[in-house]
């Protein structure tokens, strides 16, 4: 029994050795890669190189080959600043990029003109663009302030008075001017008082048939209708004061008001 176990044990130990030997017998010997055709071989007198060679010559192809010549100025096209990689350049600002684009635009527009000082033209054009943009911004700012009655700059002192002027004009023959003027004076609203003085003057001239009053007419129309030279000059002075105080939106004090109101009598 012991002998059988010993024989079985020896057979078990020797089995990997035979398996390894069988695998070695099945291996193909490797002597390194060999080219299908060695260099300098030829077929029909034409040199043939291996397929992976970078020095192939005389390749046979059905595609016709045509020799092309490069333009003489090809090197000049790649001499600009954009193709200079010799040094690390600082990051270009937006203004510098704008100048470069402007320079290219000028080169295209004036290709036949030699600008020795082209940077001067760039500077002037950029300045002009800046002035235009600034002017547009100022226009919208002023327009906005006008809508706000100018209070942003001048506060309440020169605040525009919103008066139902259409009602005043339409009812010019029905207004109690004495009462309205007195009320405006008591409130120290001298601008409004000047307006009532002027409207009363128009009513007086209309009642005397010296002018033909119409809401659509201007002060120049009334001046041309007045024939008496002295009265015409008086009306000119009164209309100038009215335009200055009312449409100019200038606030006046009591002393100025007393001086002006005599022009309307």
Condensed to tens digits (0 to 9), the pLDDT of residues 15-48 reads 544 444 444 445 455 444 444 444 455 555 555 5
Range of the domain at 254: 177-262
Residue 1: per-residue pLDDT: 55
Q: Are residues 150 and 224 in the same domain?
A: no
Q: Are residues 145 and 182 in the same domain?
A: no
Q: In this structure, is residue 13 part of a structural domain? A: no
- Number of domains comprising the chain: 2
Secondary structure (H, E, C), 121-161? HHHHHHHHHHHHHHHHHHHHHHHHHHHCCCHHHHCCCCCCC
Confidence category of residue 74, pLDDT binned at 50, 70, 90: confident
pLDDT in tens, 141-199: 887 776 644 444 444 444 443 444 444 444 677 888 899 999 999 999 999 999 999 99
Q: In this structure, is residue 209 part of a structural domain? A: yes
Q: Are residues 131 and 191 in the same domain?
A: no
Q: In this structure, is residue 219 part of a structural domain? A: yes
Q: In this structure, is residue 252 part of a structural domain? A: yes
Q: In this structure, is residue 140 part of a structural domain? A: yes
Q: Are residues 188 and 245 in the same domain?
A: yes
Residue 183: per-residue pLDDT: 92
pLDDT above 80: residue 212? yes
Confidence category of residue 140, pLDDT binned at 50, 70, 90: confident
Q: Nearest Cα to 127, choosing from 101, 98, 104?
A: 98
Residue 262: per-residue pLDDT: 86
Instruction: Give 195 or 117, the one with higher predicted confidence.
Output: 195
Q: In this structure, is residue 255 part of a structural domain? A: yes
Contacting residues for 156 by C-beta, under 8 A, at least 6 apart: none
Give whichever of 8-12, 131-135, 147-151 has the largest mean pLDDT. Answer: 131-135
Q: In this structure, is residue 122 part of a structural domain? A: yes
Q: In this structure, is residue 134 part of a structural domain? A: yes
Q: Are residues 225 and 256 in the same domain?
A: yes
Task: Tell me if 223 sits within 8 A of 263, measured CB to CB.
Answer: no
């Amino acid at each position: 029994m012991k002998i059988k176990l010993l024989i079985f044990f020896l057979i078990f130990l020797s089995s990997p050795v035979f398996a390894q030997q069988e695998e070695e017998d099945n291996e193909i010997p490797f002597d390194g890669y060999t080219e299908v055709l060695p260099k300098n071989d030829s077929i029909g007198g034409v040199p043939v190189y291996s397929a992976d060679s970078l020095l192939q010559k005389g390749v046979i192809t059905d595609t016709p080959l045509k020799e092309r010549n490069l333009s003489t100025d090809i090197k000049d096209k790649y001499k600009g600043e954009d193709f200079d990689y010799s040094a690390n350049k600082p990051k270009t600002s937006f203004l510098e990029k704008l100048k470069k684009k402007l320079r290219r635009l000028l080169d295209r527009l004036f290709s036949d003109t030699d600008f020795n000082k082209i940077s001067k033209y760039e500077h002037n054009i950029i300045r002009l663009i800046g002035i235009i943009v600034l002017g547009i911004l100022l226009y919208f700012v002023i327009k906005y302030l006008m809508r706000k009655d100018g209070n942003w700059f001048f506060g309440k002192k020169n605040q525009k008075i919103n008066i139902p002027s259409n009602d005043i004009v339409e009812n010019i023959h029905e207004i109690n001017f004495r009462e309205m003027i007195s009320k405006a004076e008591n409130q120290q609203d001298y601008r409004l008082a000047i307006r009532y003085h002027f409207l009363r003057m128009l009513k007086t001239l209309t009642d005397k048939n010296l002018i033909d009053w119409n809401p659509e007419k201007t002060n120049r129309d009334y001046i041309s209708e007045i024939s008496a030279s002295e009265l015409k000059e008086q009306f000119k002075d009164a209309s100038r004061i009215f335009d200055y105080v009312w449409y100019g939106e200038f606030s006046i004090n009591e002393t100025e008001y007393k001086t002006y109101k005599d022009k309307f009598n």
